[in-house]
Structure 1
Amino acid sequence: MKRVVRVHVSACWTICECPADTRCHRRLGSGGTVARPEMRLDRDGSPARELAFRLRQVRADAGLTYAQLAAKTDYSISTLQEAASGRRLPTLPVTLAFAGACGADVGEWREYWTDLSHARVNGDSSIPVPRWELRIRSQAAEEVKPPKEVRIRRVWLRWAIVLFFIASSAVAAVFLLIPSERGKPRDFATVVIQNKVAIGPSSLLEDTTPLYMSSRTISHCARRGCELSGTTMWSGAKVVVSCWAHGERLTNEDLTSSGIARNPHGATSDLWFYGKWSDGRGGYVAQVYVAPAFRGTLGLRECGTP
C-alpha cells in the first residue's frame, strides 16, 4: 500500500509516494534527495556485490558524500546509492560516472564492469580482479625485488643448491624433508602464501590489501606498530620458515557474508610461522594466510624451544 505525503521544503510543496511501512525521501528545492543511511554490504563473491564493494571503496578514498557525487554527475543520490547497494549490477554509464567523479581511471572501470558483466551472464564463479589492483600488486612486488646483481647471485646459488640436492637426494630426504628417527624437528620449510578471503558459501577471493610479516603474533599490525615494512606479499609468494608459535586466533573468513559457515575454504587458527625476509629480518605470518597444504607444524620446532 502507498500513502501520499506532502512535504514543505523551502516554500515549495512536493508530493512523495512511498510504501506505508517505509520513510519518504525528502525532496530538496534543487531537485536532489537526502541520502539514506547506507546499508551494510555482505560480500558473497557475486559480480554485483564485488562492484558495489569497490564503488564504496573508491568513494571512501575520494572522501565524497553522495550529495557531492550527485553534484558532480548527472545522476541523483538515490541512483548512485543504488549502484553501490549490491542488489544488481548498475549500468555502465552510472558506474563510469560514479568512478569518474571520484577521480578513478574511467577506462579501467569500463574494463572491470565489462568483465563482471560477462561473468554474470556466463555464470562464472571466478570473479575478475580489476586492473588497478593488479597494478598495485605489481608495484608492491617491484618494491621488494632485490637489485639485479643480487638476483643473479641468487640464481647461481639456486643452481648450486639444486646440484647439491641431486647429488645427495637420499640424505636430503632424511635430514630436511622429514624428522629424523630420533624425532629431531626440521630446520626449515618453504610455505606458499594464500592471501585470500573466504566469502559467502563457496567463494575464495584475493584480499584487496597485501599480507605482510609482523614482529608480533597479533592482527592489525599496520596500525599497532608491529608491521615489518617492505614485506608485503600476495598469493603465490614463498617464505622460508623455521618454527611455529601460538598467537592471536585469526580467520580468513568474511564473517559478515551470507552462508560463510558452509564455505569449505574457511580457516581459523592461532598458529603462526616465523620466517626470514630476503634482507635477513625475521617476522611472523598467520597460518590462515598460507595455502592449506602448508598449514600445521610441518615437523618444525616450536619457536622458543631448542
Structure 2
Amino acid sequence: MKSKKTKQINQIKKSTDVCFNIIFLLLSLICILPVVFVFSISISSENSIQKYGYQIIPTEMSSAAYQFLWNEKGTILHALFISVLVTALGIVISVLLTTTMGYVLSRPNYALKEVYTWLVFIPMIFNGGMLAGYVVNANILHLRDTIWALILPLAVSSFNVVICKTFFKTTIPDSIVESAKMDGASQLRIFFQIILPISKPILATIGLFAAFGYWNDWFQASLYISDKNLQSLQSLLNNIQSNIEYLANNPYGGLSMQQYKASMPTESVRMAIAIVIIVPIACVYPFFQKYFISGLTIGSVKG
C-alpha cells in the first residue's frame, strides 16, 4: 500500500512530461542553432553577406572560406598536431594531478587536510594575477617557447579538485580503503589499483573539462609562444583572423595587400575558423557523455 502511494506521488503527469520535453527541445535548439547559423555563414559568398547580411539559409553558397583555409593546410595541420598533443598530454597530467589531490583531501585521517583544503579553496576566489603568473612561468620556470607553457599553467583547477574530493568522499566507502591497508597495500597501490578503476565517472568528467580547456585555449600561446613551430591550432586561427581584420580595417595598405584583401573572404573565413575549432571537440563529447552526466550529479540527493 505504501509503495503504491509513493509511486503515485512520484509519478509525473502526462501533461507535465510533455511540457518538460518541449522545454528540453527548445534548450537543445538554442544550443544547436548558433552552430548551424555559423556554418551557414561560413558557406555563404562574401557578396551575399555584404548585400543581405547574415542568413541561416544562404542566398548564394560558396566554399571560398574553406578553400582559403585549405591553402594554408600545411601550417594548419602542424598546428592541429600541436593542439592534439597538448590536449592529450594535458588531459593525462590534469587528471592525474587533480584526482590525486582530491583523493588525499577526501581522506578523513589526513593530518594536513584542513590546511590543504584552504590552499585549494582560496585560488577559487583570489589569484595572483596575470603578471605574477607570467613571471613565475617565464622567468622562474623558464617555460617560454616550450610545449610545457601550453600544458602546465592549466593543469590543475581548484574547482575540479573540489569535485574530485566530493566524489571520493561520498562514493568510495572507507571500508574498501581500510581493508586494503589491512592486506598491506600502500597508498599508491590503493589509489591506482582500487580507487581509479571504480572512479570512471569522475575521470571522464575531469578529462572532458581538461579537454575543453586545452583545446579552446589560445591565450597561453599568445603569452609564452613566439616560435611558429609551437603554435596551437587556436592560436594560429586567431592570428589568421587578426590578420583578416587588419586587412579589412586598413584601406591605406599597399596595392598588393588591397588586391589580396579584395580576393579573400573575410566574414565567411571567421565563421569557418569557428567551425574548424568546434567540430573536433564536438565529435569527442558523445563518447564521454554517459560518464560526464554521472560525474556532474556528484553529491546529489538520492531518493
Do they superpose with TM above 0.5? no
TM-score, L = length of structure 2: 0.26
Query: Going by fraction, where is helix more abundant, 1 or 2?
Result: 2
Select the structure with the greater relative contact order (CA < 8 A; seq sep ≥ 6): 2
TM-score, L = length of structure 1: 0.25
Query: Going by fraction, where is strand more abundant, 1 or 2?
Result: 1
